[in-house]
Amino acid sequence: MALQRLSQVIPDNLDPPTKEACVVIIGGEPGGAACDIALKRIAATLSRSLQVILYKRTTFCSKH
């Protein structure tokens, strides 16, 4: 599957949260960790506060 630009994935009528937001990711393998990092980067770009909770079964070595 080819990667898409963020503007192609997020609908035009979807406004970012105005307050703090919390996201729960189930599965902390590389995909879950990548989702965590991507969401935090997007939140930082939008100057939003975001808490991400990552549930995982085993330990995963990540430098982030």
**pTM greater than 0.75:** no
Query: In the chain, what are the domain boundaries?
Result: 21-64
Is pLDDT larger for residue 2 or for residue 60? 60
**Residues 33 and 54: beta-carbon distance below 8 Å:** yes
pLDDT tens per residue across span 8-53: 556 666 666 666 788 889 887 888 889 999 999 988 888 888 899 9
**Residues 8 and 37: beta-carbon distance below 8 Å:** no
Residue by residue, what is the 3-state secondary structure of 3-30? Answer: CCCHHHHCCCCCCCCCCCEEEEEECCCH
pLDDT tens per residue across span 48-58: 888 999 887 76
Nearest by Cα to 59 from 34, 39, 29? 29
